[in-house]
């Protein structure tokens, strides 16, 4: 990955992390509001969600290095955390790796 891609990732990282956390919190709010479940079931669901999203944070953001940037970007893309306009800011090389065309 190019140095410019690494720098862009570093710039976008706070926004992407915040986006992931906002989604996680929204999931927790929905779980807590589900009155079809008992309080204990809601608690367990929130506990599970927090653990799952913490794993997402780790996979996407822990130990960021230029050498593993491609993998971080793939994880962000799989989790639908990269907006199209953000992805478009990466180099053509990075975009080609993240959006492979069939037959290539």
In-domain check, residue 104:
no
Quick: pLDDT tens for 36-69. Answer: 999 999 999 999 999 999 999 999 999 999 999 9
Domain that includes residue 61, residue range: 3-98
C-alpha to C-alpha distances, 29 to 1, 24, 34, 51, 54, nearest whole angstrom:
38, 9, 9, 15, 16
pLDDT band at 82 (very low <50, low <70, confident <90, very high): very high
Q: What is the pLDDT of residue 63?
A: 93
Whole-angstrom distance, CA of residue 34 vs CA of residue 12: 33
In-domain check, residue 11:
yes
In-domain check, residue 70:
yes
Residue 16 has pLDDT above 90, yes or no: yes
Residue 103 has pLDDT above 80, yes or no: no
Average pLDDT, the chain: 94
Residue 21 has pLDDT above 90, yes or no: yes
CB-count burial class (<10 Å; 0-12, 13-18, 19+) for 12: buried
Q: What is the pLDDT of residue 102?
A: 65
The total domain count for the chain is 1
In-domain check, residue 18:
yes
What is the DSSP annotation of the chain?
--HHHHHHHHHHHHHHHHHHHHHHHHHHHHHHH-TTS-HHHHHHHHHHHHHHHHHHHHHHHSS--GGGHHHHHHHHHHTT-S-HHHHTTS-HHHHHHHSPPTT-
């Amino acid at each position: 990955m190019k140095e410019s891609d690494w720098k862009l990732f570093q710039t976008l990282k706070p926004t992407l992390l915040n986006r992931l956390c906002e989604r996680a919190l929204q999931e927790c709010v929905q779980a807590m509001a589900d009155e079809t479940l008992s309080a204990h079931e809601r608690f367990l669901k929130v506990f599970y969600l927090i653990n799952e999203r913490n794993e997402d944070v780790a996979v996407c953001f822990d130990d960021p290095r230029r050498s593993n940037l491609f993998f971080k970007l793939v994880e962000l893309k799989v989790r639908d955390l990269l907006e199209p306009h953000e992805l478009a800011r990466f180099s053509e090389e990075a975009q080609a790796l993240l959006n492979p065309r069939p037959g290539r």
